[in-house]
Amino acid sequence: MACMDDNLQIIKDFLDRHLDNPPERIQPENRLEEIGIDSLGMLELIFSMEEKYGIRLSGDLPTPRTVGDLLQIFEKFRQAAK
């Protein structure tokens, strides 16, 4: 669970820096469009995760709709990078 929490914090920090979206308002059930993540923002966030874990995410990822979907994708690939 700690890794999921770390990933959630990365998402919160990203949103705070890039979208001025207060971290305390971001929860796994939030829909991405509701919190201001568009396709460019999604790419930037994915690049941040790749850099943090030293991994490359697959180009054929399912399209995440919520913060929780993103967390599941990031955790799956973080585990694969071990």
Kindly report the CATH number assigned to the domain that includes residue 15: 1.10.1200.10
- The structure tokens listed for 26 are 């971001």
Percent of the chain residues past pLDDT 90, beyond the cut = 9
Q: Give dist(CA 75, CA 82) in Å, integer.
A: 11
Task: List the domain range (segments joined by +) for residue 15.
Answer: 2-80
Who contacts 48 (Cβ-Cβ below 8 Å, separation ≥6)? 10, 14
Output the pTM of the full model. Answer: 0.77
At 46-81, the pLDDT tens digits run: 888 788 778 787 778 788 899 899 888 888 777 766
Neighbours of 16 (CB within 10 A): 15
Q: Give dist(CA 82, CA 80) in Å, integer.
A: 6
The domain tally of the chain equals 1
pLDDT value of position 31? 92
Q: Give dist(CA 79, CA 71) in Å, integer.
A: 12
